[in-house]
C-alpha cells in the first residue's frame, strides 16, 4: 500500500456496554441497555452486556494486545451510569477509567474518550429536554478527572442511531416506536452535543469532536435528498454550521412542534466519521416507508450489490472515498477522523487460528479508498478500526463478530485474528514513526 502521510494515526475502537461487563460492580447503575437487554424478546437469544468481554477486569490484557498491534490510539467510551448512577457521583466508576488511561499512556497509546455511546442511565430519557443539561454536567465531571491525560474528547457516538433506532423503529434501547419522539430525541442529542462541547471547552479540553454515522446515497436525487437530509444533514449542519438545513427543518415540523431555534452551537476541532455502507434507493409508490426515516413513504431500499457482510451491508469502499470528498467539499476546513469502519464475518477457529481473509480484503479496500481521498485533498487525520474485540453487537447479541481479536465468550480468551497481524504490518509501514 502507498504510504499514508507522516503523522497519520492508526487505532481501534470499542464501546463501554459492548465490552466492559461488570454491570453491577463498584456502584455502577443500570443503563437503558441493561433494561432493554433484560426485556424478553428485545435482544437475540436473550443476550445481555452483563459480562460482555469482561474488559473491566481484563483491560490490562487488552491494552497489551493494543501495544502488540502497534496502535497509536484507542477510542473507548465512558459509561455514564458507572460515573453518575441515579444522578449521584460515583468515584469508583471514574477510578476504572483512571486506570485504563494510565495503562494506555504507559504503553504509548493515545486515549480518545467518547462520553456517550448509547448507555444512557436508565432514569434518563432523550425525550426530556433537560437530559442535555445533565449530559453537559457529566462531561465536565469526567473531564475534571481525566482531562490532564486525555487530549481528544468525543461528545456523542452516532446520535442518529440513538434517536431513530432507539425511538423510531425501537430496535434499540429504549425501544420506543414514535416518529415525534425520534425527532425530539435527535434535537435533544444535538443540544447535548453543543452544551457538552461548551463545557469541555470551558474546562480546557484540547480537542473536541463528535462522531456521526454517515451514509452516502445512490439513486435519483429526487429520492435521495430526503433520506440524505434525515441520515446525514440533520446532524452535519447543526454540528458544523449551527443550524438545521431548511428542508430538514420543514420536514421535522410535520411531526413535532419543537422549538428548533433553541439549538446552541460550539465549533468542533475534528469530525469523527463512522462509515460502513451506502443506501441504494428508488421511488416506489407502494413502499410503506422506513420507521427509522419518518415520512419516507414511497421510497424503497434496494438490496446490496455483491456479497454483503454478515450484517447484510454492501461492501463498497468507493462510498468512503466519496463521503470524505463530499465532507471536504461541503464543510471545508473540517479535519476528519475515521472513528469506526470494519466488518462482521462468520469467523471460524481452525487449528488455533482465525484466517479472516474477508475482513483483510474489506479493510484493505477501505484503507485504499481513504488514501485516494487524501490524495484528492481530504484532510483525514487517522483511521480507527471497528472493533478491537468481538463484542456485544446490540440487538444482535453476540452473533456478529467485528473484532480484530476473537473473544471466546465462555472462557473469555482473546485470540488475535489474521486481520490483527495484517493490521500490525500496515501500521508499521504507514503514518507515525
186-221: per-residue pLDDT in tens?
999 999 999 999 999 999 999 999 999 999 999 999
What grid cell was written down for 421?
497481524
Superfamily of domain 9-279+313-429: Glycosidases (3.20.20.80)
The binding site for substrate comprises 18, 117, 157, 276, 386, 393-394
List all residues 6 or more positions away from 91 whose beta carbon is below 8 Å from its beta carbon: none
Structure confidence at residue 71 as a pLDDT band (50, 70, 90): very high
Q: Which of 169-173, 259-263, 354-358 has the lowest mean pLDDT?
A: 259-263
Tell me the whole-structure pTM to 2 decimals: 0.98
As a whole number, mean pLDDT of residues 51-70 equals 98
Contact 254, 230 (CB under 8 A): no
Q: What is the mean pLDDT of residues 102-131?
A: 98
Catalytic option among 20, 292, 321, 340: 340
Break the chain down into helix, strand, coil percent, rounded to 5. 40, 15, 40
Mean pLDDT of 58-75: 98
Tell me the per-residue pLDDT of 4-29, one tens digit each, with 9 for 90 and over.
Answer: 999 999 999 999 999 999 999 999 99
Q: Are 370 and 338 in contact (CB under 8 A)?
A: yes
Q: Which residue has the higher pLDDT, 430 or 240?
A: 240
* pLDDT (0 to 100) of residue 2: 60
Alpha-helix runs per DSSP H in 107-230: 131-146, 159-160, 179-203, 221-228
Rounded to the nearest 10 degrees, what angle do helices 357-375 and 418-429 cross at?
30
Q: How far apart are CA 309 and CA 73, in angstroms?
A: 26
Active-site residue, 123 included: no
Residue 373 has pLDDT above 70, yes or no: yes
The average pLDDT across 241-251 equals 98
Query: pLDDT at position 433, please?
Result: 45
Active site residue 314: no
Pick the residue with more confidence: 430 or 380? 380
Q: Please answer whether residues 226 and 279 qualify as being in contact, where contact means their C-beta atoms are separated by less than 8 angstroms.
A: no
Q: Which of 20, 103, 158, 266 is catalytic?
A: 158
3-state secondary structure of 51: coil
Chain position carrying cell 473491566 = 56
| The pLDDT of residue 430 | 87
Q: H-helix or E-strand containing 171?
A: none
Amino acid at each position: 500500500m502507498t504510504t499514508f502521510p507522516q503523522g497519520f494515526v492508526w487505532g481501534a475502537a470499542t464501546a463501554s456496554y459492548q465490552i466492559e461487563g461488570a454491570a453491577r460492580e463498584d456502584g455502577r447503575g443500570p443503563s437503558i441497555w441493561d433494561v432493554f437487554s433484560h426485556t424478553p424478546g428485545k435482544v437475540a437469544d436473550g443476550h445481555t452486556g452483563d459480562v460482555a468481554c469482561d474488559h473491566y477486569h481484563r483491560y490490562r490484557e487488552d491494552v497489551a494486545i493494543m501495544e502488540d498491534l502497534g496502535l497509536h490510539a484507542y477510542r473507548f467510551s465512558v459509561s455514564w451510569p458507572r460515573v453518575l448512577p441515579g444522578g449521584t457521583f460515583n468515584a469508583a466508576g471514574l477510578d476504572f477509567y483512571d486506570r485504563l488511561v494510565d495503562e494506555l499512556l504507559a504503553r504509548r497509546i493515545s486515549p480518545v474518550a467518547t462520553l456517550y455511546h448509547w448507555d444512557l442511565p436508565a432514569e434518563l430519557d432523550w425525550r426530556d429536554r433537560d437530559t442535555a443539561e445533565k449530559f453537559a454536567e457529566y462531561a465536565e465531571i469526567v473531564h475534571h478527572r481525566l482531562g490532564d491525560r486525555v487530549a481528544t474528547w468525543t461528545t456523542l457516538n452516532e446520535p442518529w442511531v440513538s434517536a431513530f433506532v432507539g425511538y423510531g423503529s425501537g430496535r434499540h434501547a429504549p425501544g420506543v416506536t414514535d416518529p415525534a419522539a425520534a425527532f425530539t430525541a435527535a434535537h435533544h442529542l444535538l443540544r447535548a452535543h453543543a452544551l457538552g462541547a461548551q463545557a469541555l471547552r470551558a474546562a480546557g479540553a484540547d480537542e473536541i469532536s463528535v462522531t456521526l454515522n454517515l451514509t452516502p446515497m445512490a439513486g435519483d436525487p429526487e429520492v435521495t435528498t430526503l433520506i440524505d437530509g434525515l441520515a446525514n444533514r440533520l446532524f452535519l449542519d447543526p454540528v458544523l454550521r449551527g443550524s438545521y438545513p431548511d428542508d430538514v427543518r420543514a420536514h421535522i415540523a410535520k411531526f413535532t412542534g419543537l422549538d428548533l431555534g433553541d439549538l446552541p452551537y460550539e465549533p468542533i476541532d475534528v469530525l469523527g466519521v463512522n462509515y460502513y455502507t451506502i443506501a441504494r434507493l428508488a421511488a416506489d409508490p407502494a413502499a410503506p416507508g422506513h420507521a427509522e426515516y419518518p415520512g419516507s413513504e414511497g421510497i424503497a431500499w434496494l438490496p446490496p450489490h455483491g456479497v454483503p457482510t454478515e450484517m447484510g451491508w454492501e461492501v463498497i469502499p468507493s462510498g468512503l472515498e466519496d463521503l470524505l470528498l463530499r465532507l471536504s467539499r461541503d464543510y471545508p476546513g473540517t479535519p476528519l477522523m475515521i472513528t469506526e469502519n470494519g466488518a462482521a464475518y462468520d469467523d471460524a477457529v481452525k487449528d488455533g487460528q482465525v484466517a479472516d481473509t474477508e475482513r483483510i480484503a474489506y479493510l484493505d479496500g477501505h484503507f485504499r479508498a481513504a488514501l485516494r481521498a487524501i490524495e484528492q485533498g481530504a484532510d483525514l487525520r487517522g483511521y480507527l478500526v471497528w472493533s478491537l474485540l468481538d463484542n456485544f453487537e446490540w440487538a444482535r447479541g453476540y452473533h456478529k463478530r467485528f473484532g480484530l481479536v476473537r473473544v471466546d465468550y465462555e472462557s473469555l480468551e482473546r485470540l488475535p485474528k489474521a486481520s490483527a497481524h495484517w493490521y500490525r504490518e500496515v501500521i508499521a509501514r504507514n503514518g507515525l514513526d
